[in-house]
Structure 1
Amino acid sequence: MARDQGAARDADAADVTDDPAGCPVHPVPAGPELFTREFITDPYPAYAHLREYAPVHRTTLPSGVEAWLVTRYADARQALADQRLSKDPRRSEAAWKQGKVGVPGEQRSGVGAHLLNLDPPDHTRLRRLVSKAFTPRRAEEFRPRVQALTDRLLDDFARTGEADLIHDFAFPLPIYAICDLLGVPEEDQADFRTWAGMMIRHGSGPRGGVARAVRHMRTYLAELIHRKRATLTDADDDLISGLIRASDHGEHLTEDEAAAMAFILLFAGFETTVNLIGNGLLTLLTHDRERLALRADPELLAPTVEELLRYDGPVEVATWRFSTTEVEIGGTRIPAGEPVLVVLAAADRDPRRFPAPDLLDPARADNQHLAFGHGIHYCIGAPLARLEGQIAIGTLLRRLPDVRLALPADELRWRGGLIMRGLQRLPVTFTPEADGREAGGPQGG
């Protein structure tokens, strides 16, 4: 493992040693390296090795920060719900705060005070304010709009015979949906899409691009809140209007909290959905039997999306947690003040929980995956992400029945990063759609 604490130089070593924190470390047989280009492309062999030999493992991240990786399902589920693991970065050790990526960068940008970085009671208050926009009922009411957006995007390229399903489809669909939920006027949505694109590209964009995008979005949302407060009517039912009403009736929302909403919404309802659609379509394009079965039986759409979430989900690692006291997870003692990362991608391939976990099985029984997390920080955008994933995947396969990859799957490139897992591009070809859309096959949920 690359720079892994306790990795054995000799696979046969049997002695137990102590790491610098005073915790017992059992030697780990050499396995696939972490954080290489090969790992980013396919992390699952490395995660299988960790699950077997070091299920709770201290390692050095590319940023230079040391953190504990939790990789088994039972341990992951425990950690996600453990109140001794705080989401508040102020509970972290000094070394973590010097990290160059992830939450340390968010803190310096001024948008760190969002739901993913808060504990109760602040977390409880803010989640209550935004949860009404992401209920299953509200998501279902949004179905016609998501279907219309999906059809409009497909109309733009369905007659061309080729497309990049990330740039042309998976990326714009959720950002336009989020704009609608927020109440962003149509004339401003192109700017919103540009800023979101800069944030999702992370290290592959222009230097300083993420910070600039965050500042632009923060400024824009503050101005939008000000404008909406001045013209608010009972007919306004978007998320920003709801936040204004809640704030005006005693549920105080600070300016910093309002600005931080942009960041959390990218996690809750945008980037997660981009990756769900992109990863899901790639998986189906490389699994002919399951794709053809889905086209033949629309009733398979919902369970297929659930299995896609488990098999190659949109979130690889849950967001940062910090031990507030010594915590034992999977028999390993983690000292107070240490960063803990729950590896959802590893937990959802744990053979102790899922039989034949490396096989795609839409008929899988009891598919209680952790793709959206667990506990009080369960992804607030899960209902909307599921709806958009079902509509996008179902509609595309119906309208473009012979869609296929335009290059070998092993030549595709994945966005580097720690939390999210998604493709840079997904080029495909297909028979151009005629003027009349085909009927039959899976509908949008």
Structure 2
Amino acid sequence: MTDVYESSDPAAAASACTPEFRTNPHPVYAQLRKDSPVCPLLPPHGVETYLITRYDDARTALADPRFSKDMYGAMDAYQRIFGDSSVALDDNMLFSDPPKHTRLRRVVNGALTPRRVDALRPRVQEIADGLLDRCSTREPVDLLPSFAFPLPLNVICELLGVPEDEREQAHTWSVTVAKTGFGPEAKKALEEAEGNLRKYLVDLIARKRRSPGEDLMSALITAQDQDGALTDSELVSTAWVLLFAGHKTTAYLIGNAVYHLLNHPEQLRTVKQDPALFPQAIEELLRYEGSVENSTFRYATEDVKIRDVLIPKGALVQIAIASANRDPEAFDEPDRLNLLREGVQSTHIAFGHGPHYCVGAPLARLEMQIALTTLFRRYPDVAMAVPSDDVRWLTVPFPAFRGLVELPVSLDSSQLR
């Protein structure tokens, strides 16, 4: 499309920062795609951010080297949003550009091999079954804390070699970091949690160096010791991003997927009758309501023009992944969940695009497949325990994540009658 936009639509831009937007952002995104596809917003963090909402622009921007991920280059804006304490945990591949990003990603790819991921399949299945064994069938269960969160948390902790009795504390600190509030109290809690996480990871790395195992953390330490591939700061920060991203995003993916499957019973029936369709269905669920609503921040290293909107040098940029994945220019009937949609795996950008494509995507797909197939195989009559409209979504304004606050279900729907 070649439409020209001289300025953003103030009404649409303002609506993107309201509580109502959090419940269902898709109508607002549709309006932005139409009227203001490159939209300057002033989110609650107080730093003007350009939001890119169309699919073609999003794919281009995600791979555009003029949009840097090295937030040290935008330190003033970064510190205004997150404070000083976040810097110590962000010395990783997520917040870096080539050649540093290339080096860090190569080390992680070398440790997080397809063979290592595939070898986890029996253990992921065992964890999923164990969690569901502990769920009640006589009363409603909140599937998020009982299943969706502990499944990927335990998997990534086992992968990293985090002892079982230390996982809950690490999860608590991660939850605090993920809340991303912008007031003084929220920033104070954020700084405390980040400080505790960093101290914990430094201690864990020291223990792994003294007594290495077959885990991913030991593999990263070995790579560091062999060829200096990671500095001490990079090792701590890489462990942090793997721990955080390795469970939070997948937990919300599982929750979103179950919610939408239960609200599309005819389509759910199709995949339950033929479980071989689940991998294809998962790709559509990723497109329809992935857990990463907006990309992490980038900043323009030079003036960049998109659709005649000039993004000035130094400006912050986010890509609205949830919007791009519902763009009618890229997907037919994008607001309709179609579990049999073809070709979606190669087109959706739920895991990003370009050099920062999610390194954990194979693990997330594995966990989603086992979580969904196990849940619906063991409890084929699972149903929402409350009206779907009563379920709450995350309310942090202009967030990175898209996910549910709770997911009350009855594993035995006969108990609802």
Answer whether TM exceeds 0.5 for this pair. yes
**Larger helix proportion of the pair:** 2
Confirm or deny that 1:347 pairs with 2:329: no
Name the SS of the counterpart of 1:360 in structure 2: coil
State how far apart, in whole Å, the 2-side matches of 1:257 and 1:271 are.
21
Say if 2:69 and 2:298, in contact at 8 Å, map to a contact too.
yes
Kept in 2: contact 1:304–1:362 (CA 8 A): yes
Q: Show CA shifts across 1:359-412 (max 9, x none).
A: 001111221100000011001111111110111011111111111112122222
Match of 1:77 among 43, 55, 59: 59
Counterpart of 1:358?
335
Of the three residues 250, 263, 268, the one matched with 2:227 is 250
Q: Which of 228, 238, 242 pairs up with 2:215? A: 238
Matched, 1:430 2:407: no
Q: Which residue of 1 aligns with 2:361?
A: 382
State yes or no: 1:394 paired with 2:373: yes
Deviation at 1:342, TM superposition (A): 0.6
**8 Å contact kept, 1:317–1:344:** yes
- 2:192 is aligned, of 212, 227, 238, to 212
Does the alignment pair 1:110 with 2:88? yes
Q: Deviations over 1:107-139 (max 9, x none)?
A: 545212122111111111111121234343322
Shift of 1:203: 4.1
Secondary structure, counterpart of 1:281 in structure 2? helix
CA distance in 1, matches of 2:101, 2:312: 24
- Alpha carbons of 1:204 and 1:276: their partners in 2 closer, same or farther (altered >3 Å)? farther
What one-letter code is carried by the residue in structure 2 that aligns with 1:213?
A
CA contact 2:94–2:356 (8 Å) conserved in 1: yes
Q: In structure 1, which of residues 27, 33, 37 is the aligned counterpart of residue 19 of structure 2?
A: 37
Larger mean CA deviation between 61-70 and 192-201 belongs to 192-201
CA distance in structure 1 between the partners assigned to 2:200 and 2:312 by the alignment: 41
Cα 1:119–1:431 change in 2 (3 A) is same
- Work out whether residues 45 and 182 of structure 2, in 8 Å CA contact, stay in contact via their aligned partners in 1: no
Q: State yes or no: 1:226 paired with 2:206.
A: yes
Per-residue displacement from partner, 1:182-235 (whole Å, max 9, x unpaired)? 011223223223323333444499854333322222111111111121223xxx
Shift of 1:68: 0.6
Cα gap change, 1:413/1:362 in structure 2, threshold over 3 Å: closer, same or farther? same
* C-alpha distance in 2 between matches for 1:106 and 1:34: 27
Decide whether aligned partners of structure 1 residues 28 and 224 sit closer, same or farther in structure 2, where only a CA change above 3 A counts.
closer
1:421 paired to 2:402: yes
Letter in 1 for 2:359: I
Cα distance, 1:266 vs structure 2 = 4.0
Q: How much has 1:338 moved relative to structure 2? A: 0.7
Which shows bigger deviation, 200-209 or 252-261?
200-209
Asked if structure 1 preserves the Cα contact closer than 8 Å seen for 2:173 and 2:194, the reply is yes
Deviates more, 1:343-352 or 1:407-416: 407-416
Aligned residue for 2:305, secondary structure, equals strand
Match status 1:52 vs 2:34: yes
Deviation, 1:60, is 0.7
User: Structure 1, unaligned stretches of length 5 or more?
Assistant: 1-15, 17-23, 434-445
Task: Report how far residue 256 of structure 1 moved.
Answer: 2.1
Could you say which structure has the larger radius of gyration?
A: 1
Q: TM-score, normalised by structure 2?
A: 0.91
- Counterpart contact for 1:79–1:342, Cα < 8 Å: yes
* Structure 1 equivalent of residue 163 of structure 2: 185
SS at match of 1:369: coil
2-side partners of 1:69 and 1:266: how far apart?
Answer: 28
Higher relative contact order, chain-length normalized (CA < 8 Å, sep 6+): 2
Distance 1:239 1:229 in 2: 12
Q: 1:59 to 1:197 in 2, by over 3 A?
A: closer
Q: Count how many residue pairs are aligned between Structure 1 and Structure 2.
A: 404
Tell me the equivalent position of 1:174. Answer: 152
Deviations 1:301-348 (A, max 9, x none): 001110000000010001111111111223322111111111100000
Q: Which residue of 1 aligns with 2:173?
A: 195
RMSD of aligned C-alpha atoms?
A: 2.3
CA distance in 2, matches of 1:223, 1:330: 49
CA contact 2:261–2:268 (8 Å) conserved in 1 = yes
Gaps of 5+ in 2: none
Deviation at 1:29, TM superposition (A): 7.7
